[in-house]
Structure 1
């Protein structure tokens, strides 16, 4: 298998969109657009297939900076300013815009003329119910893919790791899959290249973005102590820059014992610098780690 690079030369495309001067921006282009956080739509996977009156939806919406309102049939919709007008996008439509960008990357690299023939296998959290899985499938269809199958993300991870190829005898595996918005723990039995799910548990409210959020709160507290007269939360662009720096530090801490979060001229000429150790980071995300252990049990 070959992982294609996108227009920015990266092999990963963040699941977010924004519209600037009437132009759609997807992935990193949206993140670096300079737009305030409330104009960048991300994390829509948490909204897929959920009704407005779904349990815990209000709590999830509290952590999203962009507007989400109730639409037809009690569905959550996202108002997006598109040029001179405001469009109401369903979560499936937002996801479709991201998938369509990936499809364009495929066409650019392969030169396929018949784009309708491009098949796709989409992955979803193991905790997704039937409505959420159908919403993901609908997004793929809107993007123009021929959706062949919907599979669980932990199963996809097992395939990507080649766990079905190196052992002929039966073996068991426990997979912990933490994405941006969710965490899944799955117990698999693998024999003759066939995966059988023995048990699975998941949470759609604990993911990598939540870890970023804990680290961001830690940095905001330090900045407030250093500059008590400056409200960084009221400066969306500065807040976004600090959030990206926290995300990069989180990734570094996966292989280093410490990292430095630095942002030059963060706001009003104030530089920001914070050293964080892996041990301190683990203390900050203890709740998320304990939730992952709870899922495993």
Structure 2
């Protein structure tokens, strides 16, 4: 499929989703449009099936293949981005980065050079973002920017007639595997994120699981002498039925679900009330995060939420709009929930490379052609130190210096003192907030940078070590540690725990080069 580009370089927006992914670009009229995949679909299931060590299927064909060979099929890999999570198919090692790279290769089916804006959940931390960037590199894609999904949705939203004069917007983004909510300001001069929050392990797949469990229980109750799992097709049948039923109930009140296993046939009447009961606590979890993010946004003056927009395929469930309306006292709007993110990514990609076509489009598109998007720190960063108030000097804590929702770019300088005599080296460990809320407890954080400040004179106890942390506008963390008396300095940037190192990346690159990708 021919794909439009800028000269010989293709400029794309990519939504690398947990359950579905998509690609978009800007047309000759300056407006974004979705590029359909090889089989004519606007979105591609983020599923990979390994036919062999050198051939994979991606998308709908992988979903179908997974029904007969689930052991060689992988889905929901986005939930593992940034984690040390090795996989093996046909004797070959893979990681979340390499699996994601195969999805990207299927999405961008071209031999032309590609530059792209790739979207990530706003609540993704540095490890997940670096893993996403590495997946793009493995796929041969030059990343223009890792753009937060709510910002992408707001860019698309900001080009529609819905914003009017702009204002403070809450984006509720419930995808297949992740949930984000972000308060931002959409104005003709650009998009500014005020506060963001979310849960990277909560999404539509959790509703699907609840429905599948309910349908299975109904089957067992109706045919108690049959174990449906003796039929190897049943797990796929019930999971497919769960997802399709959830989608159908966005527009209808009830739907009969037919399940077959081991020669038995059961019809389950499933309705919207049952769905809402099964997912009530999941909705409550998202609303708790919505209340938290609006509370944090209010600290920065964003008190009057004028708009709420729902994006992500799972936000089409009527219970979501009802809960958002009750929580915020505004009527939420649904703006192409399946495609808003990728269309916004395309706008941003063109914004970064060629504003001319945006100007030609007129209206809000022209207004944002040369305007920036600004974001915030998704999670707090700090330094691991020994607690000076601990009488036995064994307790360690994380002292955060760059804080969650601090506007990007962000920086902070802190000083600490050594506690031992004669030290000629000091280990510097940088941690990122891992939980929903910042905490000094080590187990509530995760290490992202690690190094040693060496070649120091024998320092006396109480010697000062100065540490500067910087987070760039695109979320890159860099840290400098300095010992003032000697001028010794340590710069940390490249080593990120949970992401494959350069040697492993080279191995994965060689492996991927020998794999044929089909849809």
Tell me the TM-score normalised to structure 2 length: 0.48
Could you tell me which residue of structure 1 aligns to residue 40 of structure 2?
Answer: 9
Distance 1:176 1:89 in 2: 33
Distance 1:191 1:233 in 2: 54
The structural deviation recorded for 1:141 is: 1.3
From 136, 139, 143, the counterpart of 2:139:
143
The structural deviation recorded for 1:165 is: 6.7
Could you tell me which residue of structure 1 aligns to residue 87 of structure 2?
Answer: 78
1:295 aligns with 2:295: no
Distance 2:232 2:189 in 1: 49
3-state SS, counterpart of residue 3 of structure 1: strand
Distance 2:156 2:227 in 1: 44
The structural deviation recorded for 1:272 is: 3.4
Distance 1:21 1:144 in 2: 22
The structural deviation recorded for 1:168 is: 6.6
> Is 1:36–1:240's contact at 8 Å kept on the other side of the alignment?
no
**1:5-41 CA distances to partner (integer Å, 9 max, x unpaired)?**
2223211111111113553111111111132433320
Could you tell me which residue of structure 2 aligns to residue 49 of structure 1?
Answer: 82
Distance 1:143 1:93 in 2: 8
1:195 aligns with 2:191: yes
The structural deviation recorded for 1:163 is: 5.0
> Is 1:253–1:278's contact at 8 Å kept on the other side of the alignment?
yes
Could you tell me which residue of structure 2 aligns to residue 101 of structure 1?
Answer: 106
Match runs of 1:110-149 below 5 Å: 115-116=112-113, 118-149=114-145
Instruction: Report the CA distance shift for 1:161/1:235 in structure 2 as closer, same or farther (over 3 A).
Output: farther
Greater Cα offset, 169-178 or 234-243: 234-243
Which one has a bigger Cα radius of gyration?
Answer: 2
Instruction: Report the CA distance shift for 1:190/1:138 in structure 2 as closer, same or farther (over 3 A).
Output: same
Distance 1:291 1:102 in 2: 32
The structural deviation recorded for 1:193 is: 4.4
**1:69-118 CA distances to partner (integer Å, 9 max, x unpaired)?**
xxxxxx2111122xxxx1110100000000000011xx3xxxxx5x22x1
The number of residues matched between the two structures is 258
From 255, 260, 279, the counterpart of 2:273:
279
> Is 1:37–1:236's contact at 8 Å kept on the other side of the alignment?
no
> Is 1:36–1:236's contact at 8 Å kept on the other side of the alignment?
no
The structural deviation recorded for 1:236 is: 3.9
> Is 2:157–2:163's contact at 8 Å kept on the other side of the alignment?
no
Instruction: Report the CA distance shift for 1:221/1:193 in structure 2 as closer, same or farther (over 3 A).
Output: farther
Distance 1:220 1:294 in 2: 30
Higher relative contact order (CA 8 A, sep 6+): 2
From 29, 40, 52, the counterpart of 2:61:
29
Distance 1:262 1:103 in 2: 37
Distance 1:252 1:193 in 2: 39
Instruction: Report the CA distance shift for 1:260/1:9 in structure 2 as closer, same or farther (over 3 A).
Output: farther
Gaps of 5+ in 1: 51-74, 108-112
3-state SS, counterpart of residue 34 of structure 2: coil
Could you tell me which residue of structure 1 aligns to residue 170 of structure 2?
Answer: 174
1:38 aligns with 2:32: no
Distance 1:219 1:175 in 2: 32
Instruction: Report the CA distance shift for 1:8/1:232 in structure 2 as closer, same or farther (over 3 A).
Output: farther
> Is 1:202–1:295's contact at 8 Å kept on the other side of the alignment?
yes
Could you tell me which residue of structure 2 aligns to residue 55 of structure 1?
Answer: none
Distance 1:76 1:177 in 2: 26
Distance 1:93 1:101 in 2: 13
Distance 1:247 1:139 in 2: 28
